Amino acid sequence: MRTALLVIAAQFVFATTAGAQIRDAAVTGGRVSGVVADGITAFKGIPFAAPPVGARRWKAPQPVVKWTGVKTATAFAPGCMQDPALAKLFGAPDAVSEDCLYLNVWTPARTAAERLPVMVWIYGGAFTSGMTSIPAYDGAPLAEKGVVLVSASYRVGPFGFLAHPDLSRESGKGSGNYGLQDQIAALRWVKDNISKFGGDADRVTIFGESAGGISVSMLAASPAAKGLFHRAISESGGSFGPAKTANEGGATVPSLKVAEATGRAFLTRLGAADVDAARALPAETIQKALGGGLASGFWPVFDGDVLPGDQYELYRAKRYNDTPILIGTNSDEGVTFVPGAAQPAAFEAAIRAGYGAKADAILAAYPHATLMESTQSARNIFRDATFAWHTWAWALLQSKQNKSKAYVYYFDHRTPLSPNGAGHAAEIPYVFRTLGKFTGPAALVGSPRPEDRAMSDLMSSYWVNFAKTGDPNGPGLPPWPAFTESAQATMYFDAKPSARPAPNMTQIKALDEYFAWRRQEAKK
């Protein structure tokens, strides 16, 4: 009888241990508790910095304000100040606040000793919008594959990227990159705290899409982010063009001088005599002055500190954070930004206005004799000049160093809603395993088909393998060779996933010559 009781007791202890889950953790600032569902513990709304309000507006993120007791971390914090209309398109709540520097953790770990790989998601939104609460960013399905998933908010629009001479003097290090500094502060939090959630602080992968993918590229070149991550995934990102000084084609990152001029003009629009006066204004007043939509005029800045300068030149000089990279673009991204028709004459005029002495070469690479051709070319050059060339240049520059490997993909999975190719952001629910939760214009809407689920399992497996080892390959997956200068292999995610030559190379080469010319012009 005693032996039987001991066996039952041992079975009970084993069952209790096997079902154990991390439910609370002591982190920077205090203790937090999460909620368990289907083997994943979710912690939502953990502060990683002090609220950037009042005198802290337009300053680098400050240390977390400590709290007492146990903070219940079961609900997303409001998104950072923005026009919430875009995020609502993707199913997010419309709550926004200037007090927004919070992150979320999903962990499958049963104990803090597991040391699982960590993936940190950086949302997109043209540096003007974006929230961690978008349903397609739910971290639980990807965490089920054996990673600790983190998503973090960062300031956007003028709150995140306003540069001004007063702010530059105040910091002594330039201004305008507060949103990027938020991302870096979140990564520091991960380094200091993720082990409490069963994560490995020495195996952190940053990944993001669009502005989030561009952010990943920028963090890869930022001295301030050195040592805070060990792999990088950029979906439709990259930032390898020279500084924007006017309306140059493909240029997005302004010099500090240009960004400060934009900041002065914005304060004038606010009716604020100086930065102190602008700090005294309600956040809603600043957001209203900005207006709606994505064209805010605010973007990360070559401030000489967080972003030292042209990333192309930094990589050539071997001044970057060397980690394996997994990067790529989608086949029909341009349709998201150029949904209507583009007349041949209007297309040619736009190219001549933006591409200067290289306009003829660009026009030769992008057919535009008919309305159908010019419309497609308008979409394609947006895709290539904004995303594809930057991705190709990044992979080429890194592969030339012959150190950490580069893996490149081309997402061309087609659905009844996207028969001509994959639109911008269309890959996100496949990576996150959240098919059916993405309600935006480039989304998979309705019930996923078997081929959609198969693509999601394939892509999420590659992404998780990369987070684990720095190499996406694994048992049962089509081989994905590294990209090299001599063999520019690209993994195509389409009806027959396989590695093939890089796409769009005629256009990419034309753009490469254009960007090289712009870079030389900038040195004069």
Distance CA(468)–CA(462), nearest Å, equals: 10
| Owner of token pair 């146990």 | 70
Say which residues have a Cβ less than 8 Å from residue 265's Cβ, sequence separation at least 6.
none
Q: Are strands 489-493 and 406-411 parallel, antiparallel or unpaired?
A: parallel
CA 51 to chain centre: 22
What is the amino acid identity at position 281?
Answer: L
Distance CA(155)–CA(80), nearest Å, equals: 6
Q: Of 87, 459, 200, 482, whose CA–CA distance to 324 is shortest?
A: 482
CB 481 within 8 A of CB 461: no
Distance CA(94)–CA(78), nearest Å, equals: 8
Q: Is 7 helix (H, G, I), strand (E, B) or coil?
A: helix
Q: Are strands 40-47 and 102-107 parallel, antiparallel or unpaired?
A: antiparallel
What is the amino acid identity at position 147?
Answer: V
Which whole-number Å values give the CA distances from 154 to 98, 211, 356, in the listed order?
A: 10, 11, 35
Q: Record the tokens describing residue 155, joined without a space.
A: 């300031």
H or E element, residue 457: helix 450-469
Catalytically active residues are 210, 333, 424
| Owner of token pair 């395993």 | 433
